[in-house]
Amino acid sequence: MKTSDDALIRRAQAFDPGALAELYDRHFDGIYRYLFTRVRHQADAEDLTEQVFLKMVDSIQRYRPRGVAFSSWLYRIAHNLLVDRYRRSGRTAVELTAQVRDSRPQADPAAMAQSSEDRSRLLEAMRRLTPEQQQVITMRFIDSLDVDEIARLTRRRPGAIHSMQHRALASLYRFLLEPEEVEARRA
């Protein structure tokens, strides 16, 4: 049976190595994905992920749930590390990459080619969104965060996140249809 985060957190606050390791195991993939989609470099994402979990250990005793999921607290740490990193380097914080690969086994080469083409079109359409829209879409559909978590992480209201998500999806739909509309007009 899987122990709840609350029970693990209490044990981790007592510096139980097993509890700290289990929290790490439960949340590593999501935090790493969140960071990788923003920094586009495996070594940087790994370093930042390590820093998130070091900060988790350093400040776990001060963590209080206050109605916020533990994962939201970790994403806030990751977000703050990204902001600090980009402030120091002067780079834009949200950028998408074609380096995120679909690792599922594919038996049909034609399906793989279509999937690759679809992914390229989607990435190109995503790049046309505002950085804020890119962030919301990435957090919502790649990181699988709910609207309330995104609102807390971005310090916006849930209604603003819903609205931004809606506008971003409408823009993506329009951007993805453009090549087809151009071809239809030519015919």
Instruction: Count helices and strands (H / E) in the chain.
Output: 8, 0
pLDDT score of 182: 44
What 3 state SS string does 60-94 have? HHHCCCCCCCHHHHHHHHHHHHHHHHHHHHCCCCC
Instruction: State residue 104's pLDDT score.
Output: 47
66 Cα distance to chain centroid = 23
What DSSP state is assigned to residue 41?
-
Amino acid occupying residue 136: V
Architecture of domain 1-93: Orthogonal Bundle (1.10)
Tens digit of pLDDT per residue, the chain (187 long)? 455 678 888 899 998 889 989 999 988 988 998 888 888 888 888 999 999 999 999 999 888 877 777 888 898 899 889 888 877 776 544 455 555 554 444 545 555 555 667 778 888 888 898 888 888 888 888 777 888 888 888 888 989 998 999 998 888 888 888 765 545 555 5
Report the topology of domain 108-187: Arc Repressor Mutant, subunit A (1.10.10)
Tell me what pLDDT residue 115 has. Answer: 64
Q: Domain segments of the chain: what residues?
A: 1-93, 108-187
The three-point CA angle 12-82-68 to 5° equals: 45
The span from the CA of 187 to the CA of 185, in Å, is 6
pLDDT of residue 112: 55
Backbone phi and psi for residue 166, each to the nearest 5 degrees, phi listed first: -60, -50
pLDDT at 53: 92
